[in-house]
Structure 1
């Protein structure tokens, strides 16, 4: 490793800064249990920017049974502000799988947002207030097994009655990829929605097996 660092330093203007602690808003903490990734400072800056530091926290990242959609008589909100906030939540979701669904919902209304949509974003910010310290923990479990779990709702989108698939994949007991995606066609039964969700999740597993 030292020889590699010397070689790179001879070719480029660079130097070793030691163990990684902070990179692109991601805080890295090491212990005997493993490596922990979090975004505490990033979330605090986001709450300060939106003046939500003193908001009332909630323990759920998204509203249950929401009916968000486009309405002809909807009250518009600041489009630029909405897009900026949702963009920051998308970036935050790279280390926070728990907000992946809420981010997917609000990202559908980037080009025509309303006060109701902005209220859903504020709901997620109130959740972040009480979960600032959450993140991803990577531990050494002594194996490199590839596992996956998936789920899907049925006709959960009120606009077009499509279903949403979601999956998580694990390598060595640690989550490495996750995704929620609207299905391309309308499923006429919950079983079809589940099978389509399973197909999307299974496609991810061979790629992970090949990479390790």
Structure 2
């Protein structure tokens, strides 16, 4: 074995160290992707996908180069390793790998235009003071609250009013019959103050940008709150 020193670059992922922890990004990977697709001089886009998009498979769609589309989407899937801000739109684009149209390719090109705006974005993730990176499919459970100490309850922010009321209602409810075991587990943790479930309005739900297209304002606000930033940007 040979000591190669501190990790700086591995499989397209750049690692930057500071007193706060590790910062992961794929800036070089993005720049190479933009260069290979001729998008280095493109006009940057504010968001990776337009709000209220109507993507789908239609009988009158104009087909595009399937092999090129698949290669680009595969590269973007790998890029989403450090770019959760494109996770949703990449998951949408990947649904049309078998029969992509010009409209689908236009979405992929918009992703590249968005990447041009901030190629060095990456993120830190901390849980209880420890650096943790956790990625999953768009519909996986996400926790947004962090405990302040070893005896503090972990906050699970919830924007579903029905789920919030069921969790905090001591009486059984008809609609919980199929999840009674899980419900009793959650109630036990609530009783012992190991977790708490504060309600958060949908407009403040940070996970929204990971599950559907949102407005520019909400998208940028979520980026800041999720700690997704560009350490290479001028200050």
- TM-score when normalising by structure 2: 0.57
Partner of 1:89: 76
Q: Does 1:62 align with 2:36?
A: no
Partner of 1:165: 139
- Secondary structure (helix, strand or coil) at the match of 2:61 reads coil
Which of 21, 30, 37 matches 1:50? 37
Structure 2: gaps of 5 or more residues: 148-160, 167-178, 183-235
5 Å-filtered alignment, 1:1-212, equals 9=1, 15-138=2-125, 142=129, 165=139, 167-169=141-143
- Going from structure 1 to structure 2, the CA distance change for 1:79 and 1:40 (only over 3 Å counts) comes to same
Equivalents in 2 of 1:43, 1:114: separation in Å? 24
Shift of 1:168: 3.1
Structure 1: gaps of 5 or more residues: 1-8, 10-14, 149-163, 174-189, 203-212
Bigger relative CO (Cα 8 Å, ≥ 6 apart): 2
1:72-111 per-residue CA deviation (whole Å, 9 max, x = no partner) reads 1211100000000000000001111110100011000000
- Going from structure 1 to structure 2, the CA distance change for 1:170 and 1:24 (only over 3 Å counts) comes to farther
- TM-score when normalising by structure 1: 0.62
Shift of 1:137: 1.8
Shift of 1:143: 6.0
Shift of 1:165: 3.2
- Going from structure 1 to structure 2, the CA distance change for 1:166 and 1:58 (only over 3 Å counts) comes to farther
- Going from structure 1 to structure 2, the CA distance change for 1:166 and 1:140 (only over 3 Å counts) comes to closer
Indicate if the aligned counterparts of 1:34 and 1:139 stay in contact, CA closer than 8 A: no
- Secondary structure (helix, strand or coil) at the match of 1:35 reads strand
Indicate if the aligned counterparts of 1:28 and 1:35 stay in contact, CA closer than 8 A: yes
Indicate if the aligned counterparts of 1:35 and 1:139 stay in contact, CA closer than 8 A: no
- Secondary structure (helix, strand or coil) at the match of 1:95 reads coil
Partner of 1:154: none
Aligned length: 149
